[in-house]
Amino acid sequence: MSVTLDHVTRTVDGLPTIRDVSLTLEKGTLSVLLGPTLSGKTSIMRLLAGLDKPTTGRVLVDGNDVTGIDVRQRSVAMVYQQFINYPALSVYENIASPLRVQGKPRAEIDARVMEAAKLLRLEPFLKRTPLQLSGGQQQRTAIARALVKGADLVLLDEPLANLDYKLREELRAELPRIFEASGAIFVYATTEPSEALLLGGRTVCMWEGQVLQAGETSSVYRHPDTMRVAQVFSDPPLNTVPIQKRNGSVAYGGGIEVPASGLYAKLADGDYRVGFRAHQLEIANGAAGRHAFPATVTVTEITGSESFVHLHREQSNWVAVLHGVHEFEPGDVLDAVLDPENVFVFDTAGRLVAAPGHT
């Protein structure tokens, strides 16, 4: 089975929410819709499900136009970030409910419920009601109910957003196993780059109703086509700094000019913007081939295993992620060190022109 969005647009009250999107999703694949709030992730899911109809363009299933077909006539299941369960029913009956609606025989219902419960590790809780469960168990129940339908297309709209950190990490680690065991088409929406990286599959980076880039998750992360994609796929936010390449040298501003080494060496003379993620910025003494900048600490956030050091230099605000506990004070001046072999270089239009391993 395949599901295709063919040049779809959607306009609501005169405002475009989806802008000329084309995507094809194949059986047994996971696609992560990654983007900030209002980037169009939920709108895409609603079009895929048949809850909304595109203003222009088509929705195809195995090449057949299903644009006007109601969601009830499609093989689709959806899980939302809220725990949508029937509070008066047991976990068993919650999972079984779509099968009872379909009129399945009792033996088949029991077998499929038990299979889904085993997959989601809900077997000990089948006699409980949702209010007797933890948040993670409630969301497992909602996912099990979606899977037990045997739908060809399963849509998960930020399903872990309302869980606390521990529960999110627990379910994140298990979801790839669940997806692989199901064999359906999965589409998973999230605002968190770390979630996309953990889930793997394909990532579709979205911004203001547009698909910026789609491809294997690791490839999109390592080689973003544009600075906007790198920004969408970076948390903490992407650090950037303008540079000028002239006559074998690179000027960073603030009187810092260095030989054009690393990725800068092959650049044509001109103006560029360099992007680097928080883990690519070090706080250390400069070393051969690396570039050091004096930067002022504005705040340090300590999470326990990591420290997020916020820095200000010239017109730029940067974040460095350091392992362990580092207690810097606001106003401290540190050497921020950048490796020119390990950055993204974008032209003035924001297009990627150089990246590690990118030609």
Please give the CATH topology (third level) of the domain spanning 2-225: Rossmann fold (3.40.50)
Strand blocks (E) in 62-217: 64-65, 76-79, 153-157, 185-190, 202-207, 210-216
The DSSP secondary-structure symbol of 348 reads T
Residue 243: how many other CB atoms lie within 10 Å? 24
How many CB atoms are closer than 10 A to CB 118?
12
d(CA 121, CA 140): 8
**pTM above threshold 0.75:** yes
Report whether 163 contacts 139 (CB < 8 A): yes
Query: Is the CB of residue 153 less than 8 Å from the CB of residue 183?
Result: no
What is d(CA 158, CA 42) in angstroms, rounded to the nearest whole number?
Answer: 9
The confidence score (pLDDT) of residue 288 equals 58
3-state secondary structure of 356: coil
Q: Could you report the average pLDDT of every consecutive run of 10 residues in the chain (359 residues)? A: 95 94 94 96 95 96 91 88 86 95 94 90 94 88 88 90 76 80 90 92 97 97 97 96 94 88 94 96 74 93 92 93 93 92 96 86
* Predicted local distance difference test score (pLDDT) of residue 98: 92
Q: What is the DSSP string of 286-341?
A: --TT-EEEEEEEEEEEE-SSEEEEEEEETTEEEEEEEES---PPTT-EEEEEE-TT
Residue 285 confidence (pLDDT) = 62
Sorted by where each begins, the domain ranges of the chain are 2-225, 239-354
CA–CA separation, 324 and 251 (whole Å): 33
320 closest CA partner among 309, 334, 333: 309
Which fold, 239-354? OB fold (Dihydrolipoamide Acetyltransferase, E2P) (2.40.50)
- Phi first, then psi: give them for residue 39, nearest 5 degrees: -85, -10
Please report the pLDDT score of residue 203 as a whole number.
98
DSSP secondary structure of 20-70: EEEEEEETT-EEEEE--TTSSHHHHHHHHHTSS--SEEEEEETTEE-TT--
Phi first, then psi: give them for residue 15, nearest 5 degrees.
-110, 130
